Structure 1
Amino acid sequence: MNNKEKTTLGQRRLPGIGKLPKWAGITIFLACAVALALIIVLHYNPGADQETERLKKICACTLIALSCAVFSVYYDRVMVVPLELWNNRQLIWQMSVNDFKKRYAGSYLGAVWAFTQPVVTVLMYWFVFEKIFGMKTEIAGRGLDVPYVVFLMAGLVPWFYFTEGLSNGTTSLLEYTYLVKKVVFKISILPLIKIIAATFTHLFFCLLLVGAGWIAGFTPSLYTLQIFYYMFCEFMLMLAISFATSAIQVFFRDLMQIINICLQIGQWATPILWNLDSVVPDWRMQWIIKLNPMTYIVNGYRSCIYEERWFFEHFYSSTYFWIVVVGIFCIGSLVFKRSKIHFADVL
C-alpha cells in the first residue's frame, strides 16, 4: 500500500466530490432555485383566495432570492460541512451503529429500553385523553373517524424522533470529546452520527404506527410510502438545528436545559395531542401554528396513515418547510465552521 492509498480516520474521499468547482456548485444551486421559483409562480390553486396566493408567492420568491444571495457569497463556508459528511459516509454509518449498540451495552434488556419509554408514554396519553377525557375519535381529512390512539401515535412518533435526535445531536461534541481533540478527525460528522442512531428506534415505531393504522382499518397503500419522505424532512431539520446547537453547547453548557424547556412547550404548541382544525378554528391562529416546522411533519405523518393525501398537495407548506430547513442549515454550518477551531481549547 503506497502513501496515496493510505487514509486516516475521518479523511476518506471520493474522486471529484470534494473538488467540486465553486462556479459549478453555485450554478447548480441557482438552477434549482430558479426552477423552484418558476413552479411556485406558475402554480395555480383555483379553490384558494387569489390575494393570499399572490402574497405567498411573493414571500416565497423573496426568501429564495435571499437564499441564493447568501449561498453565492458564503459558498466556501456553507459547503464545507456537506462535503465532509458525504466524503465520510461509510465512517458515519459504522459509528452510528456502534453508538446505538453501546448506549444500552451495560443493561440486561439492552436495546429494549430504547422502545420502553416511548411505548409507556403513548399508553399513558391514550389512557388519560381517551379513557378519562373521552376523546374517542378524530375526523380525518377525507371525513373518516379515526381512533384517537392512531391519531395520537401519528403525532407522538415523529415528536419522539425529533426530541431524541435533537437532544443527542446537541450533546454529541461533549460526548465524543476525545474525538474532537483529534486533529485528523472530521468532527462535523458527530451530530449526524447521533441522529442516525436515533433513526433506528424511529423505524421500529413507524412500523408500529403503520400496524396500528392497519388494525384500525386503514390498509397500507402507496400513500403510506410517503412516510420515508417526511422522515427525511425531519432528519434534515434535526441535522440543520444540531449543527448550531452542538457548537453553542460547547461554550454555553446551559443550552441543553433551555432546549428541554423549549421541547416541553413545543409538544403542546404542535398539534400532537389535539386537532388543529377543531381546536383552533381561527385561520389566523392556524397560520401562526403552521409556522412551526414540526406542524408540517406531524400533519404529514397523519396524511400517510389515514388521510390519503400526497405531500405535493400541501404545496406552500412543503415550500415553506424546505426554505426554513435550508436557511437553518446554512446558518448552522456557518456557526459550526467558525466555532470548531476553538472546540479543542474549550473541551
Structure 2
Amino acid sequence: MKQLFMIPSELYQNRKLIWTLAKNDFKTKYAGSYLGIIWAFIQPVVTVLVYWFVFGVVRQGAPKAVPFVLWLVCGLVPWFFFQDALVQGTNALIEYSYLVKKVVFKISILPLIKVISAVFVHVFFVAFTLVLFCCYGKFPDIYAIQLLYYSICAFALVLSMTYITSAVVVFFRDLTHLITILLQIGVWMTPIMWDFVDMGISENALVARILKLNPMYYIVSGYRNALVDKQWFWEHPGQTIYFWAVTVVLFLFGTRLFKKLKVHFADVL
C-alpha cells in the first residue's frame, strides 16, 4: 500500500516545484521564434478550419443541433489536449535527461510537468470554444460547468498513460513514432469529425460498442453533452464507471512500471 501511493505522495510534496517547472516549460518551448507561444495556438486553429471546410462545407453530414463548426470544435479541443500532452509527456525523461541523472531530483514529477504545460493551451481553447458558441448565439448554461469535470477526466487519462509511455520510451525510442501513428489512427477512430448517424451505424451495433471502448469517446462525447446535447455526466453511469475504471487501472499500472524502471533511467540516458 505504501508503494502504491508513493508517486502520488511525491507529486503532492513537490507541487510548488511542479507548477514552476510547468510554467517554465511552456514559456521555453517556443523561445527563440518570432511569434513565441502564439505558435501553440496557430496549428490547432488551422486544423479546425481545415476540418470544418472539408466536413462542414464540402461534405455535409446529418444536420446537427448547432452549427457544424461548434459541434466539431467540441470534439477537437479535448483531442488537441490529449494529443499534445501524450506526445510531450512521453518524451519528458528524454528532454529532461540532465535532471534524471541528478540523484536527489524526484523524476516522477517530469511527466506531470509536461501534462500541466499542455493544460495552459487547453484552457485557452476551452475559452475560445465558449466565445465561439456565444458568437453564434448559443450561450453556455449550467451544463457547461461539466467542462471542468471532463477536462479533469482528460488530464487523469493522459497522465496515467504518460507514466507508461515515458518509462518505456527510454528503452524503446521507436515508441515515439509508434504513438504518432496511433494518434493519427485514433483521431479517426474517435467520433470527432463524424458521428454514428453520419456513418449509418446504430448506437447499439457491435462496431459502435467497440469504438466506445476508447476512453476518449467518453471525453469527446462529454464536451458535446455539456455544450450541445445538454446532458449531465451521471446520465451515462455505465460509461462513467468504465472510463474511471480504465483510468485507475492505467494509473496504477503506469506508476508501478515507472517506479520499477526508474532505477535504470540514468544509466540508459
For the superposition of Structure 1 and Structure 2, which TM-score range results when normalised by the shorter chain?
Answer: over 0.9
User: What is the match of residue 159 of structure 1?
Assistant: 79
**Is the partner of 1:76 in helix, strand or coil?**
coil
Matching residue within 110, 116, 122 for 1:202: 122
Alpha-carbon shift at residue 104 of structure 1 (Å): 1.1
Cα distance in 1 for partners of 2:175, 2:122 equals: 25
Alpha-carbon shift at residue 130 of structure 1 (Å): 1.8
User: What is the match of residue 88 of structure 1?
Assistant: 14
Contact 1:77-1:333 at 8 Å conserved across structures: no
User: What is the match of residue 5 of structure 1?
Assistant: none
Give 2:82's aligned amino acid. Answer: F
Structure 1 runs not aligned, ≥5 long = 1-74, 139-144
Cα distance in 1 for partners of 2:34, 2:119 equals: 22
Residue 172 of structure 2 corresponds to residue 246 of structure 1: no
Cα distance in 1 for partners of 2:135, 2:208 equals: 31
User: What is the match of residue 343 of structure 1?
Assistant: 265
Cα distance in 2 for partners of 1:282, 1:91 equals: 46
Contact 1:170-1:246 at 8 Å conserved across structures: yes
Cα distance in 2 for partners of 1:277, 1:127 equals: 20
Contact 2:86-2:158 at 8 Å conserved across structures: yes
Matching residue within 36, 48, 51 for 1:110: 36
User: What is the match of residue 303 of structure 1?
Assistant: 225
User: What is the match of residue 238 of structure 2?
Assistant: 316
Q: Whose radius of gyration is greater, 1 or 2? A: 1
User: What is the match of residue 183 of structure 1?
Assistant: 103
Structure 2 runs not aligned, ≥5 long = none
Contact 2:71-2:228 at 8 Å conserved across structures: no
User: What is the match of residue 202 of structure 2?
Assistant: 281
Cα distance in 2 for partners of 1:221, 1:118 equals: 25
Cα distance in 2 for partners of 1:136, 1:123 equals: 19
The 1:87/1:217 distance shift into structure 2, 3 A limit, reads: same
Q: Percent identity?
A: 51
Give 2:44's aligned amino acid. Answer: P
> In angstroms, what is the RMSD of aligned CA positions?
1.1
Q: Tell me the TM-score normalised to structure 1 length.
A: 0.75
Where in structure 2 are the equivalents of 1:1-347 lying within 5 Å? 75-135=1-61, 137-138=63-64, 145-279=65-199, 280-281=201-202, 283=204, 284-347=206-269
Deviations 1:294-345 (A, max 9, x none): 0000000011112111111111111110000000000001110000000000
Alpha-carbon shift at residue 137 of structure 1 (Å): 3.6
Give 2:103's aligned amino acid. Answer: V
Cα distance in 1 for partners of 2:177, 2:198 equals: 33
Deviations 1:160-181 (A, max 9, x none): 1000000000000000000000
Deviations 1:259-279 (A, max 9, x none): 111101100100000013442
Alpha-carbon shift at residue 184 of structure 1 (Å): 0.4
Cα distance in 1 for partners of 2:103, 2:227 equals: 47
Give 1:186's aligned amino acid. Answer: K
**Is the partner of 2:167 in helix, strand or coil?**
helix
Give 1:281's aligned amino acid. Answer: S
Cα distance in 1 for partners of 2:125, 2:178 equals: 27
Alpha-carbon shift at residue 346 of structure 1 (Å): 0.3
Alpha-carbon shift at residue 134 of structure 1 (Å): 2.9
More contact order relative to length (CA 8 Å, sep ≥ 6): 2
For structure 1, which segment, 124-133 or 334-343, has the greater mean C-alpha deviation from structure 2 after superposition?
124-133
For these two proteins, the number of residue pairs brought into alignment is 267
Contact 1:213-1:306 at 8 Å conserved across structures: no
**Is the partner of 2:3 in helix, strand or coil?**
helix
Alpha-carbon shift at residue 282 of structure 1 (Å): 5.3
Structure 1 ranges of 4+ moved more than 6 A: none
Q: Tell me the TM-score normalised to structure 2 length.
A: 0.97
